[in-house]
Chains A and B, each alone.
Chain A
Amino acid sequence: MIEARNVGRLFGDKRVLRGVDLDVPRGGFALVTGPNGAGKTTLLRMCAGLALPSEGELRVDVTRERIGFLAHDPLVYRELTALENLDLYGKLYRVLERKERVGMLLERFGLWEARHERVGAYSRGMTQRLALCRVLLHDPALLVLDEPYTALDAQGADLLDEQLDELHGDRTFLVSTHDPERVERFATTRLVLA
């Protein structure tokens, strides 16, 4: 699914990534770890198709609409409600039975009660849950998750564990984290960036 050969990236005069080799087969679960500034986010953005490598070759065998990307930022509009945000993405991704799917996800992540509230009024943890709903909405084949456990409370983290349990196997995962123990049991590939 993902094939990286000697991938590197420069931002201006700054090198953020060098000589990365990575193979993630279909259904694999790649765990990316490393200290702050090691280029985890950059690598994930490149695999999601948001940035190009400056050197090396990177192949990701999946079309854009089958990628689910969880970034540092939740990538939702603060002035819109959770429902409006998911409805917009549901339309753009042409999700079938949009209303039902949005409702199901909001319910599962414990946001149903707050669905008519502005996201700006959400706590960090709730916003992260909403971001996860956005990522899962279109049932992606490749999930690129940048620090998915950030800001989640114990209950939220358990919810995410459940989701990963349910989805892993036929979906491909690329996950960066500071807390590798949490997802260690899923991992099929490990990449440590220095």
Chain B
Amino acid sequence: MNYLADVRALARKDLLLELRARDTLPSMLLFVVAVFVVFHFALPAGSSDRAASGLLWVAIVFTALLGLGRAFVPEREQRVLDALVLAPCDRSAIWLAKSIATFAFLGAAEVVALPVFALFFHGLSWSTVAGVALADVGICTVGTFVGATAVVTRARELLLPLLFLPLAIPLVIGGVGASVVDAPGRYLAFLGLYDVLFALLCWAAFEYVVVE
């Protein structure tokens, strides 16, 4: 019970920080819409709807990267992470709370982005929406983990996409599969499996990222 209370307090803090600073969510929104416009011109006339579905996933992954790059900036600026690590809460609560906050931002960006996508390109199937929701879980859990890693290194922003993209490739495969095939069941199941597997791994390993 204490664990959940810790997660709640930490996640609430992250949402409050975003509410004050208002920099992550607006930039994600602008970015994703700008990417759609770029895609329109990057797709030659006569390109299939399937190509557009694939590009939706590129947009989601890169928009998420934008948000993930900001995730641990408040902790890094004043080395607040030291204080969180010293607090008696389980260290994985820091990761879980940050994942929840990132999930909220990414979800909020997609609530706008998906209808815009449907408007600009072709409609959206339910399986795409389900795929996006499931992939978001994986993107946010793994991405937050990688984001925490990146801030403790010298390379920082540079390292985040390099570590994250290879880990996100299975998510893109599952997501695109769910968007373009007629029977998306197995792709959605795969996304769910990825979420569970990597969430467990991140949960167990996070402590080693923040303490020596």
Is B182's CB within 8 Å of the partner chain A?
no
Contact, CB under 8 Å: B16 / A69: no
Does A80 contact B17, Cβ atoms closer than 8 Å?
yes
B200 on interface, CB distance cutoff 8 Å:
no
Find the residue from A69, A74, A76, A88 having the highest chain B CB count within 10 A. Answer: A88
Q: Is the CB of A92 within 8 A of B85?
A: no
Which A residues touch B89, using CB under 8 A? 92
Q: A122-141 interface mask toward B, CB cutoff 8 Å, 1 = contact, 0 = none?
A: 00000000000010000000
Shortest B18–chain A CB gap in Å is 9
Interface contact tally, CB-CB below 8 A: 74
**B10–chain A nearest beta-carbon distance, Å:** 8
Residues of A within 8 A of B21 (CB): 79
Which of A28-36, A46-54, A161-169 lies at the interface with chain B? Answer: A46-54
Q: Is the beta-carbon distance between A89 and B87 smaller than 8 angstroms?
A: yes
Interface size on B, residues (CB 8 A): 25
Distance (Å) between the CB of B4 and the closest chain A CB?
12
Interface members, chain A 66-85 (any B CB < 8 Å) = 67, 69, 71, 73-80, 84
| Known A49-B86, A88-B13: A77·B212 in contact at CB below 8 Å | no
Is the Cβ of B212 less than 8 Å from the Cβ of A134? no
* Complex CA–CA separation, A94 to B88 (angstroms): 9
CB-defined contacts of A50 to chain B, threshold 8 Å = 82, 85-86, 211-212
B6 CB contacts on chain A under 8 angstroms: 91-92
Q: Does B80 contact A (CB under 8 A)?
A: yes
Q: Which residues of A contact B (CB under 8 A)?
A: 48-52, 63-65, 67, 69, 71, 73-80, 84, 88-89, 91-94, 118, 134
Residues of B within 8 A of A (CB): 2, 5-6, 9-10, 13, 16-17, 20-21, 74, 77-80, 82-89, 211-212
- Can you give 30 contacting A-B residue pairs, CB < 8 Å? A50-B82, A50-B85, A50-B211, A52-B212, A63-B88, A65-B87, A67-B86, A69-B86, A71-B79, A73-B79, A73-B80, A73-B82, A76-B83, A77-B74, A77-B78, A77-B80, A78-B77, A79-B74, A80-B13, A80-B16, A80-B17, A84-B16, A89-B83, A91-B9, A92-B6, A92-B9, A92-B89, A93-B88, A94-B88, A118-B20
